[in-house]
Amino acid sequence: MQTSSNPESLPSSSQSTFTSFPIPDHAKINFAGWLTENQSQLTPPVSNKMLFDKGQFKVMVVGGPNQRTDYHYNTTEEFFYQMKGDMILKVVLNGNEFKDIPIKEGEMFVLPGGIPHSPQRFENTVGLVIEMERPKDSLDALRWYCENCHAIVYEETFYCYDLGKQLVPVIEKYNGSEQVRTLANTDLFKGEKHTELYAQYRPDYPQELFDSILKEESVGKSNDRKLFILDVGCGSGQAALNDVLRKNAQLIIGIDPSEGQIKQAKQKQSSSQAADIYRFLVGNDENLIETIEKENSVDPLLLNQNIESFQNQFDLIIVAQSLHWFNFPVFFQQVEKLLKSDGLFAAWTYTLNTFEGENGEQATKVLNQFYQEIMWNGGYWPERRKHVDDMYQTIEKEMPFKQHHKRTVIDYRKQMPLIAYISYVSTWSAIELYGKKNGQEAKMKLLENFKLDLMKAFQIESENSTISILWKIHTIMTRKP
C-alpha cells in the first residue's frame, strides 16, 4: 500500500473527517505575552484570571499573593501546576484533619474531588489550575471553619460556571461582615460555662417523640430486638440518655465535636448510673465512620460486639437539634453506609417557641421582636439558623431514600419560672456570640432587659412566676431500603 505525506492526496472521506473538528483561534496563545499583559489583574483576594473556558477544561492562571481563609468544595478533580515559586494547598481530610500540602515550583498535583481546599499563594508566584466543567446537578461551596473546633460556621453554595468571577463576591461578602467573621472565630458551644448552661437549661424531649421514632423504626420487625443507635451532634446527651432509648438499646454511641459537651454527657451518664451501653466520642458529622472504627479497635464495649466494621450495623441514627450545622452531602453519604438495611434515620428540631396562657400572645410578640430585630437583624444568628426556621424543609430535600421520607410534628408544652426561661435563652449560640462581640456585661444587660419586657407583657411582678411554653418539634425521617 502506498501512502502520501501530502494532505491534499488524502481520500475525501478522511479529509472531511479531519476538517469537521476545527481548532478554534483562541486555543493557542503566547503565554509569556499573555502573562505580561495580564499580570496586573492577578490581584487579591483570589488573584486568578480565566485563560480558557470554552470546553470541558477550565484553565486559570493564579498569581500571588492571595488573601483567602475560605475552603473551596467541589465534586470534580483539580490539577495544579506551579510555574513560578512555591505554594501551599490547605486541605480538610475526613472531615476534621487539617493538613498542608506544599507544591513547589515545577511540581504538579491532582486534587481528588470532594476535598475542601484553600490555596495559599505568595508574592511573585504564578501557577496554572485546570478544572472540569461542572455536572448540572453539582454545587460548589465556599466555607469557613471555626478556628477552635473546626466546625463549619459559614458557607455559601452555588453552581460554578466561572470561578474567575464567582469567588470574589462571596469572599468580599464574608470579609465585609464583622458579625460573620466574628462567628468564624467563635466556638459556639465550647466554653465551659456555656457548656454547663447548655446541659442545665436546654429543653429535654418528650416521651411522645421517642415513642413515635421507635414505633417507626420497628415497623415490620420483632419487638424483642435490642438496637444499635448512633446519636450525631449529641451535645451533653439530652437525647442519647433518654430512658426509652436506653431500654431498647444494646449499644448507644454519641458523637459531638465539643470536648466540653462530651464531658458533660459522660458526667450525666455516670451520675445517673445508666447501664454501660454508652460511648460518647469526640468527632463530627464528616468523620463518623473513622471515629467509630478507631474506637472499635481499642474499646472493650465495642470489641465485645464482635463486629469487624460498624458500616451497615446501625438500626437507628438520630440527630437532635443540630442537623442544620452539618455538611449535608458528606453526612448523608455516611448515613447511607452506617445504617443497616431497613434502618431508620430521624432528625428533629424545635422552632422558636410561643407562650400560652394569660397574656401569652402579647409575650410571644415580645419574643418575636427580640428574636428578629436584635438576634437576626443584628447578625448574631448564623445563616444556617434559617434551616430551623423553615422546619428543616430545605434539608429534607437533601436526605437519601426519598421514597421513604416521613415528617411528624409534636407539640411540647412545659411550664417553668420565667428566670429559668431566660437561662434557656442564654444558651442560644446567638446570645453567646453577642457576649463575645459586645462583652459579658452587655450580654447580661440584654438578657435583663428582655426579662423585664416579658414580665411587663405577662403582667407579672416576679421573675420566679411560672409561665407556659409551647415548642413545635418537627421530625424528618427516612428509611434505608
Residue 19 has pLDDT above 50, yes or no: no
| Nearest-10 crossing angle of helices 192-201, 259-271 | 50
Could you give the CA distance from residue 209 to residue 456 in angstroms, rounded to a whole number?
Answer: 34
Q: What is the pLDDT of residue 275?
A: 67
Residue 467 has pLDDT above 90, yes or no: yes
Residue 142 has pLDDT above 50, yes or no: yes
Query: Which amino acid type is present at position 128?
Result: L
DSSP assignment of 23-89, as one string?
Answer: PPGGG---HHHHHHHHGGG--TTT-EEEEE-SSSEEEEEEES------EEE-SS-EEEEEEES-EEE
Q: What is the pLDDT of residue 405?
A: 96
The grid coordinates listed for 358 are 394569660
Strand partners of residue 468: 356, 415
| Residue 270, burial from CB neighbour count under 10 angstroms (0-12, 13-18, 19+) | exposed
Give the ranges where 370-428 is alpha helix by DSSP (H): 385-389, 393-396, 418-425
Could you give the CA distance from residue 458 to residue 467 in angstroms, rounded to a whole number?
Answer: 8
Of 114-118, 197-201, 218-222, 388-392, the least confident: 197-201
User: What's the mean pLDDT in 276-287?
Assistant: 92
Q: What is the pLDDT of residue 105?
A: 94
Closest CA to 450 of 369, 377, 381, 385: 369
3-class secondary structure, 125: coil
Residue 96 has pLDDT above 80, yes or no: no
Q: With contact defined as beta carbons under 8 Å apart, do 388 and 381 qualify?
A: no
Q: What is the DSSP letter of 370?
A: I
Residue 444 has pLDDT above 60, yes or no: yes
Residue 48 has pLDDT above 80, yes or no: no
Of 55-59, 148-152, 338-342, 389-393, the least confident: 148-152
Closest CA to 400 of 316, 337, 467, 473: 337
- Integer CA distances (angstroms), 286 to 78, 96, 152, 233, in order: 21, 7, 10, 11
Confidence of residue 225 (pLDDT cuts 50, 70, 90): confident
For residues 450 and 185, the model is more confident at 450
- Integer CA distances (angstroms), 461 to 104, 175, 364, 419, 467, in order: 70, 45, 18, 12, 12
How confident is the prediction for the chain on average, in pLDDT?
84
Q: What is the pLDDT of residue 283?
A: 93
Q: What is the pLDDT of residue 45?
A: 64
User: What's the mean pLDDT in 350-376?
Assistant: 96
Q: With contact defined as beta carbons under 8 Å apart, do 347 and 323 qualify?
A: yes
CB atoms within 10 A of CB 288: 27
Q: What is the pLDDT of residue 56?
A: 83
Residue 472 CB partners (closer than 8 Å, separation 6+): 350, 351, 391, 409, 410, 411, 412
For residues 152 and 338, the model is more confident at 338
The grid coordinates listed for 72 are 473551596
User: Quick one: residue 94, left, alpha or beta (phi over 0 = left, psi -120 to 50 = alpha)?
Assistant: left
Of 4-8, 111-115, 120-124, the least confident: 4-8
DSSP assignment of 276-331, as one string?
Answer: S-EEEEE--TTSHHHHHHHHHTT-HHHHTTT-S--TT-EEEEEEES-GGGS-HHHH
- Number of residues assigned to the chain: 481
* pLDDT tens track for 171-205: 877 776 554 554 444 444 444 544 454 445 456 78
Could you give the CA distance from residue 51 to residue 42 in angstroms, rounded to a whole number?
Answer: 12
CA 435, chain centre distance (Å): 24
Query: Which amino acid type is present at position 254?
Result: G
Q: With contact defined as beta carbons under 8 Å apart, do 280 and 266 qualify?
A: yes
Q: What is the pLDDT of residue 156?
A: 78
Could you give the CA distance from residue 383 to residue 304 in angstroms, rounded to a whole number?
Answer: 43
Q: Name the most confidently modeled range: 122-136, 179-193, 370-384.
A: 370-384
Q: What is the pLDDT of residue 12?
A: 42
Where do the domains of the chain lie, and which CATH numbers do they carry? 27-184 (2.60.120.10), 192-479 (3.40.50.150)
Residue 36 has pLDDT above 90, yes or no: no
User: What's the mean pLDDT in 283-298?
Assistant: 90
Residue 252 has pLDDT above 80, yes or no: yes
Q: What is the DSSP letter of 98?
A: E
- Integer CA distances (angstroms), 100 to 89, 94, 116, 290, 327, in order: 6, 14, 12, 20, 21
| Residue 75, burial from CB neighbour count under 10 angstroms (0-12, 13-18, 19+) | middle
